[in-house]
Amino acid sequence: MKSLVMMTTSALFLAQSALAETPALRPDQQAFRAIYQELVETDTSITTGSCTALAAKVGARFKAAGFSDSQITYFSVPEAPKEGGVVIVYPGTSQAVKPMLLLGHIDVVTAKREDWTRDPYKMIEENGYFYGRGTADMKAMDAIWIDTLLRFKASGYKPKRTVKLALTCGEETTGAFDGAEWLSKNKPDLIAAEFALNEGGGGRAGPDGKPTVMTLHVGEKIVQNYRIEATNPGGHSSIPIPDNAIYELADALVKIRAYEFPTQLNDTTRAYFARSGAARKDEVGAAMIAVSKNPQDEAAVAVLNKDRSYHSMLRTTCVATLLDGGHANNALPQRAGANINCRIFPGNDVEAIRADLEKAIGDPRMKVTLVPPIRPAAVPPKLDPKIVAPAEKLVAKYYPGVPLVPVMSTGGTDGIYLETIGIPSYGPPGLYGDADSGAHGLNEHARVDAVYKGRDFLFDLVKEYAGGS
């Protein structure tokens, strides 16, 4: 019994010591964590959730903080009542300085409880990570944007520049009501701004958990789907002929797999390869520098093509993602089709890419058509010193010795809709995570230390851009 008591006492002492080593949250951090938790624990997936419900909760927080009804605008459409959002306006003191916009999507990819280790719609803090759907993509940043404006209000901060916040739905689901697109088309004055801060930037943690690089997201590819289809009269499978829709489709897909779009650079990717290459002392670094000077350097391109991320950053890419065909197991197929998902380098037209696919297939029997939605052309923002310099200053303060590198996203964000109405969109540095955060997959997570430090960083960055006192 004495041994058991001693063991129990020892265990309690160790537990208390471990707790003592964990810094207690400041009151402002506790308030932020509550916002973050509310966002994660409100299901906003397209299948079982409601962005409209979360927008109402966010609006209630701003109302309780003293924001007027005129500063809070809810929006939705009758055909998508659960996919609404909210826009908050924090007024500045200067009419001469244009507003800035903080953009965040609050919808998430659907998560099935039976597939996850933990409940995906509960925010669980464990072993230095926040777990839950949306913890990384992108409710940590959403919570930071909300928290920032609430802190402005509580402190009486008076920015020169009006700061707007748009929390929208639909970014994660093709074909769903997209709030950012709807606002840009129907309420452009409500979100009008000189520039926007959005998702896409951040940093990558090394083996020691500390960031090795910070990125400023400047521009992105267009996401566009195409359908390739072969048709045939068909017939009885007992008397086959070479003219077969499935075979024709298969031949076309082999040609698409082999087709390589030409190498391209813009200001962002040229700077990315030049700066990243200068920080390396290996074959890849030398290839990066060479490509930044001459994108047609075949030897350098061959080296970079070995890395799938660099390969995608250098060109338009298209890949087969869905297949369908045939109508009976004892009949020759009358129809066979495939979805081709393309990520189009800025400056290329979706119709031109369609023509390139037809040319690569080289078979007039094959039809290549655009699959709605047809997204607007990507307009890459400039590497504006007014955006870059404050970010560089704060990276040096918060993450000394860590380089800031501009990067073009090979994915897609809602920033593309802002750029069609003249609002350049940037993904700021600040937050960082592991190479695989589980976003869109199982057991999504975010580093606890990175979230709190990123919150401080982004709060200061917004104040740098907003000015005032």
196-212 mean pLDDT: 91
Confidence band, pLDDT 50/70/90 cuts, at residue 468? confident
Please check the confidence at residue 384 and state whether its pLDDT lies above 80.
Answer: yes
Domain's final residue, options 327, 351, 371 = 371
Residue 295's alpha-carbon distances to 241, 268, 291, 345, 445, in angstroms, are 46, 13, 5, 14, 37
Specify the CATH number for the domain of residue 427: 3.40.630.10
Distance CA 155, CA 165 (A): 18
Distance CA 41, CA 206 (A): 29
Cβ neighbours of 207 (radius 10 Å): 6
76-86 mean pLDDT: 97
Confidence band, pLDDT 50/70/90 cuts, at residue 412? confident
286-315 mean pLDDT: 96
Closest CA to 196 of 468, 464, 462, 467: 462
Give me 427's structure tokens: 């993904």
Domain's final residue, options 337, 352, 371 = 371
Please check the confidence at residue 12 and state whether its pLDDT lies above 60.
Answer: no
Distance CA 422, CA 195 (A): 8
* Domain annotation covers residue 191: yes
Question: Which pTM does this prediction carry?
Answer: 0.88
Predicted local distance difference test score (pLDDT) of residue 13: 38
Angle at alpha carbon of residue 65, lines to 59 and 68, rounded to 5°: 65
Predicted local distance difference test score (pLDDT) of residue 378: 80
Residue 451's alpha-carbon distances to 81, 123, 130, 317, 445, in angstroms, are 32, 13, 9, 33, 11
Residue 79's alpha-carbon distances to 82, 83, 177, in angstroms, are 9, 9, 9
Predicted local distance difference test score (pLDDT) of residue 6: 35
Distance CA 98, CA 469 (A): 17
**Would you call 362 exposed, middle or buried from its count of C-beta atoms within 10 A (0-12, 13-18, 19+)?**
exposed
CB 418 within 8 A of CB 101: yes
Say whether both 204 and 65 belong to one domain. yes
Closest CA to 163 of 459, 376, 366, 422: 459
Predicted local distance difference test score (pLDDT) of residue 404: 95
Say whether both 264 and 326 belong to one domain. yes
Say whether both 196 and 280 belong to one domain. no
Please check the confidence at residue 340 and state whether its pLDDT lies above 70.
Answer: yes
Domain of 279 in residue numbering reads as: 222-371
Give the total number of structural domains in the chain: 2
Distance CA 462, CA 141 (A): 12
Do β-strands 331-332 and 235-236 pair in parallel, antiparallel, or remain unpaired? antiparallel
Say whether both 151 and 299 belong to one domain. no
263-268 mean pLDDT: 95
CA dihedral 462, 464, 465, 466 (to 10 degrees): 80
Specify the CATH number for the domain of residue 264: 3.30.70.360
CB 67 within 8 A of CB 153: yes
Say whether both 149 and 255 belong to one domain. no
Least confident of 18-22, 56-60, 465-469: 18-22
Q: Could you give the 3-state DSSP secondary structure of residue 463? A: helix
Please check the confidence at residue 320 and state whether its pLDDT lies above 60.
Answer: yes
Say whether both 200 and 127 belong to one domain. yes
Say whether both 345 and 365 belong to one domain. yes
